[in-house]
Amino acid sequence: MRLCLLALLILATPALASETDVVARMGDVSLKVGEARQLAERLPDRERTPQALERLIRIEIIRRNVSAEARRQGFDRKPEVAARMDQAADQALVGAYVDSIARPPADYPPESLVRETYEAGKDRFTLPRQYRLSQIYVAGTDAKAKTKADDLYRQATARKADFAAIARKSSQHTASASQGGDMGWLSDKNLLPAVAAAVADLKKNVVSSPVRGSEGYHILLLTDTKPPELLPLDKVRPALVQSLRLRKAREIEAAYLDGLQAKNPVAVNGIGLSELAKAR
């Protein structure tokens, strides 16, 4: 993390080279390393690249400049703006306070609940059947395209035919054609309905007759399959724990708000509410 920030510091501008605690500056507004680190922590680890950090820092320094300019112009002293600022600050306070109340204990959930939830929801943690497919694609659904697809099917099913070579030469799907027609591993949800239906009945290393899709014809070769696979608990544990903690936090928050209203019931002036509705 520190190395990424220092890299941005060095690459930003020569004028900042001597300001080791400053990551970025725009006019009189600066952003320090500690502040940038807090911004960076908002990003998931996998997205915390130098490019993403620089973009985040640029957005923040511009935001601060706009804010500073608005204050110089006295915009923050306008009654309607001040009211919105107070409301936003109050909302931030409420959010932070309720989050602190609703945060589950550090040792939640217990291992027994994790295992119970995993066993009850195995369908959620099961990868669907997958197919390794190659294709020869013909764009268009008219008679001319169908004739071409039929001809390519005959070539692909001829004795000693080289499906990959035909795909490279004749398939009109550029990405897979460059790979000899190979489309990699795909599940049903990644396939067009017509293709999924054809693949379900296709045997390994057999070429399908042309399958009409929404925009063209697909001649398919099934090279391999993977049966449905249940992911082990250790692999899904982080996501499962996070989900259970989030659910628990919602329960705690709901209980807190219900208790608050039980102690201090909300009283609404019906007459005043009616007058307010009429005023609109």
Question: What is the per-residue pLDDT for 225?
Answer: 94
Residue in this structure with the two tokens 């982080």, named with its chain if needed: 238
Q: Quick one: how many helices (H) and strands (E) in the chain?
A: 11, 8
Question: What is the per-residue pLDDT for 6?
Answer: 43
Residues 207 and 68 in one domain: no
Residue in this structure with the two tokens 């943690």, named with its chain if needed: 125
Question: What is the per-residue pLDDT for 10?
Answer: 41
- Nearest Cα neighbor of 164 from 138, 201, 135, 195 is 135
Whole-number Cα distances in Å, 226 to 4, 222, 230, 232: 40, 11, 12, 16
- Nearest Cα neighbor of 149 from 219, 220, 222, 221 is 219
Residues 223 and 88 in one domain: no
Residues 259 and 274 in one domain: yes
Q: Is the pTM of this model over 0.75?
A: no
Cα distance between residue 34 and residue 20, in whole Å:
11
Question: What is the per-residue pLDDT for 2?
Answer: 46
- Asked if residue 124 lies in contact with residue 227, where contact means CB atoms within 8 angstroms, the answer is no
Residues 177 and 50 in one domain: no
Residues 156 and 191 in one domain: yes
Mean pLDDT of the chain: 89
Q: What percent of the chain has pLDDT over 90?
A: 71
Number of structural domains found in the chain: 3
At 210-219, the pLDDT tens digits run 999 999 999 9
In angstroms, how far is the first alpha carbon of the chain from the final one? 53
At 168-178, the pLDDT tens digits run 999 999 999 99
Cα distance between residue 192 and residue 61, in whole Å:
46
pLDDT band per the 50, 70, 90 thresholds, residue 53: confident
Question: Which range, of 21-30, 225-234, 246-255, averages the lowest pLDDT?
Answer: 21-30
- Nearest Cα neighbor of 104 from 241, 245, 258 is 245
Is the link from the previous residue into 79 a cis peptide, with omega within 30 of 0?
no
Tokens of residue 26, six digits: 């725009």
Residues 121 and 133 in one domain: no
Domain limits for position 60: 2-75
Q: For the stretch 182-214, what's the b/e string if a residue is b when 16 or more beta carbons lie within 10 angstroms of its beta carbon?
A: bbeeeeeeebeeebbebbeebeeeebbebbbbe
Residues 43 and 114 in one domain: no
**28 vs 2, more confident:** 28
Nearest-5° angle of CA 19, CA 22, CA 27? 95
